[in-house]
A and B are shown apart, each in its own frame.
Chain A
Amino acid sequence: MSLVVLVGVLIALGLIGIFTNSGDIIRPTFLLPFYGILLFVAGLIFSGFSFMQLGDKPKGIDYLLLPASHFEKFLTTLLVTTVGFLLVYHVAFGTATFIGAGIVSLSKDKHVIETGFSDDLKRDLIQIYHFWFVAQAIILLGSAYFHKYSIVKTLFALFIFILLIGLVNAAFMNILFHGHLAHWAASAPFFGVALVRDSNVEVYRSIFLEAPLWVKDTMFFVWRFILPPALWALAYFRLKDKEI
């Protein structure tokens, strides 16, 4: 039933987008924003409900006392919210695209969809998946900690966390480059810092001191391949230590 609703919503959104679009041909680049936004919105809301039963005492007791290991329970949730969701989402999006394009083709009496994927588009898609897995892991961890309004609470906690990292980084940069920062917050954590020779020089003449490439590559690797499993592991241990 949920799948039918999802396909219906996707078709409706697609048709509105297609009919309000001036171009004749629907290109993958046109579909990508719809695809990406819905992937994040639907996927993260779905992951946000992962451990909501632990916020309700009777449901929590039922869940925790079900004779299965914590790992089995966690793995089931993880597979449903990642593999299961992606599978259902792609079936829904593919079906919606097929039906939507069919309706438009019939109304215009010509073939309207272009199916070729450029290399840039493939790279963009891979980036989207990396970001999605990181976001999914953050929301899943949040769901293991906050059982009510978990998505809102997780996003707020994430905002505070990023703010703290930014402030700590700014404090260190101000100590290290005292008097040479373009302004007090002219630095990006793990990435670089904007400097001027002395405080009288205009800001637009600043130079941006970047972290070495190997540091950035390492950070990028950690972001893509280490962070999601690490967050999943944290969520698993949280589930293991859960009391009612």
Chain B
Amino acid sequence: MFEGLNLELEAGHVYGLLGKNGAGKSSLLMQIAGLLFPVSGTCKVMGYESKYRQPSFLSNLFLVPEEFYLPQVSIDRYVNTYAPFYPNFDEKAFHQYLHEFQVPRNQKLTEMSYGQKKKVIISFGLATNTKCLIMDEPTNGLDIPSKSQFRKVIAAAVNEEKCIVISTHQVRDLDNLIDNIVVIDNHKIIFKQDVETVTEKLSFRSVKQLDETENVVFAESSVLGHAVITENAGGTPGRLDMELLFNAVLEPSGRINQLF
């Protein structure tokens, strides 16, 4: 699936795994979770080789898959059955997350819509307090207010001991949420940088005419004129346009990568 993959993710960060459909994001997440095995080399997570799926490894990792399964029981029954497997599970936090997502506690999982079920599994995943939390396309199926709620909830859950990896092809959903960007294309990691470095080196803005700007690294037509990426001469971090950066990284010329 991946050739010559060399990727190290650290605790205390929220990684955004970006890529087009079929780029290999889900496969990479599956490898991290031990659901796919590398043909050669190793995939080590928290010191464990993921393919062995040891209980101590699994109790410290939670995966929210794109297509997920929830048994046909009530929320309380689900928690009573699954929570004991996660020693750091915080039931109070779980109910708090459900409240923030506006999911009724007494509703049965069978009676819920796909979006509501997704909110339940995201809330459960966060409440497990595992050191590694992986989410594959978590915003799929969430309405616009819920996406914003999702960003708030994740931002509140980050701590120094936790490594959160979120994959998505809807890059705008991760705006102001992730602190590290990993771009996958054609089963290769083509870009890995922290947001601070990106915003220190690059400037994202909109201009009416392209000739107004010098040192354009990448430009895209927009309704108001052009969205451009230029070199950040001052070095002062500015705002990040994730979608623009993503498109620039995927550009065949690879000019962005030359700057890092």
A→B interface (CB under 8 Å): 56-59, 61-62, 64-70, 72, 243-244
User: A58 touching B36 by the CB < 8 A rule?
Assistant: no
Which chain A residue shows the least CB distance to B68?
A58
Shortest distance between the CB of A18 and any CB in chain B (Å): 39
User: A58 touching B85 by the CB < 8 A rule?
Assistant: no
User: B65 touching A61 by the CB < 8 A rule?
Assistant: yes
Q: Which residues of B contact A66 (CB under 8 A)?
A: 58, 82, 85
User: A65 touching B67 by the CB < 8 A rule?
Assistant: no
Number of interface residues of B (CB under 8 A): 22
Pull 29 A–B residue pairs with CB atoms less than 8 Å apart, ordered by A.
Answer: A57-B65, A58-B65, A58-B67, A59-B69, A61-B33, A61-B35, A61-B63, A61-B65, A61-B69, A62-B68, A62-B69, A64-B34, A64-B53, A65-B33, A65-B53, A65-B58, A65-B63, A66-B82, A67-B55, A67-B59, A67-B85, A67-B86, A68-B85, A69-B54, A69-B55, A72-B55, A243-B36, A244-B30, A244-B36
Q: Which residues of A contact B191 (CB under 8 A)?
A: none
Instruction: Tell me if B48 counts as interface (CB < 8 A to partner A).
Output: no
Shortest distance between the CB of B34 and any CB in chain A (Å): 8
Q: Which residues of B contact A69 (CB under 8 A)?
A: 54-55
User: Which one of B30, B58, B67, B69 contacts A67 once the chains associate, using CB atoms below 8 Å?
Assistant: B58
Which chain B residue shows the least CB distance to A241?
B37
How far apart sit A64 and B85, CA to CA, in the bound complex (Å)?
Answer: 13
User: B58 touching A61 by the CB < 8 A rule?
Assistant: no
Q: Which residues of B contact A68 (CB under 8 A)?
A: 55, 58, 85
How far apart sit A64 and B33, CA to CA, in the bound complex (Å)?
Answer: 10
Shortest distance between the CB of A57 and any CB in chain B (Å): 6
Having A58-B69, A61-B35, one finds 13 other A-B pairs with CB under 8 Å, namely: A56-B69, A58-B67, A59-B69, A61-B63, A61-B69, A64-B35, A65-B35, A65-B61, A65-B63, A66-B82, A67-B56, A67-B59, A68-B55
Q: Which residues of B contact A56 (CB under 8 A)?
A: 69
How far apart sit A164 and B145, CA to CA, in the bound complex (Å)?
Answer: 63
User: B55 touching A243 by the CB < 8 A rule?
Assistant: no
Shortest distance between the CB of A160 and any CB in chain B (Å): 29
How far apart sit A68 and B58, CA to CA, in the bound complex (Å)?
Answer: 8
Which chain A residue shows the least CB distance to B71?
A62
Q: Which residues of B contact A244 (CB under 8 A)?
A: 30, 35-36
Shortest distance between the CB of B133 and any CB in chain A (Å): 12
Given A58-B69, A66-B58, A66-B85, CB of A243 within 8 Å of CB of B37 = yes
User: What 0/1 readout, one digit per residue, does chain B (241-252) give for beta carbons within 8 Å of chain A?
Assistant: 000000000000
How far apart sit A62 and B68, CA to CA, in the bound complex (Å)?
Answer: 8
